[in-house]
Amino acid sequence: MPAVADVRRAWWRGWRKCSPGWAANWTGCSRPWTRGSFRNWLPPVRRAAATVRDELRKAVEVPVALQPCIRDLWHDHVLFTGDEVTGIVDYGALRIDSVAADLARLLGSLVEDDRDAWGVGLAAYQSVRPLAAHESMLLYAYDRANVLLSGLHWLQWVFCRGYTFADPRCVLRRVETNLRRLRRLTEP
């Protein structure tokens, strides 16, 4: 499973690389709009990391069909006219993978944790191409991994790499959405 293996590598490489310097970077950060949200991100990610790591370890072994997948298919990359999809942008992460990678990323970004809405999305997809049992199981592992990695990427970009953004409010909204989903992920 290419995406699962990539997620596992990215997670642990990023976590080890950035975690020692995050606290120091917050203190001297010239972007105060980020401090609170990122600080709030760390406790739930620490609670969820081991569970998601174990799920990914199991997911690597799951036999599923592979095909070309966009792998960065989320709501901002899908263009609509009314209710109709009229385009998809950003094919930079395209690779051979399981459709579960694209479905999890898209549904997680569109409907977050609304399982009824996930059901509607999956039913629409399966009216065209049914999912195998293993693919369905992978959806939720991918989604939880996406929730963890999204916050990690923003932490790396803002604090470790010092990236700047034209509209910091957009970044903050993404981080706050991620934090909301991460908190739900760690609720009992």
**By the 8 A CB rule, do 11 and 53 touch?**
yes
141 by DSSP, 3-state: which?
helix
For 142, the domain range is: 2-186
Q: Which two tokens stand for residue 97?
A: 């993978």
Q: Which pLDDT belongs to residue 77? A: 94
Q: Which two tokens stand for residue 111?
A: 């409907």
**What CATH number does residue 27 fall under?**
3.90.1200.10
| Local confidence band at 176 (pLDDT 50, 70, 90 cut-offs) | confident
Entry field: residues in the chain: 188
- State the Cα angle at 9 between 19 and 31, rounded to 5°: 35
- State the Cα angle at 69 between 91 and 61, rounded to 5°: 140
Q: Which pLDDT belongs to residue 55? A: 87
Q: How far apart are CA 186 and CA 149, in angstroms?
A: 15
Tens of pLDDT, residues 7-36: 656 656 655 555 555 555 554 455 555 556
DSSP 160: I
Q: Which two tokens stand for residue 143?
A: 């989604």
DSSP 157: I
Indicate the number of domains in the chain.
1
**Alpha-helix runs per DSSP H in 1-132:** 2-27, 35-59, 99-111, 115-126
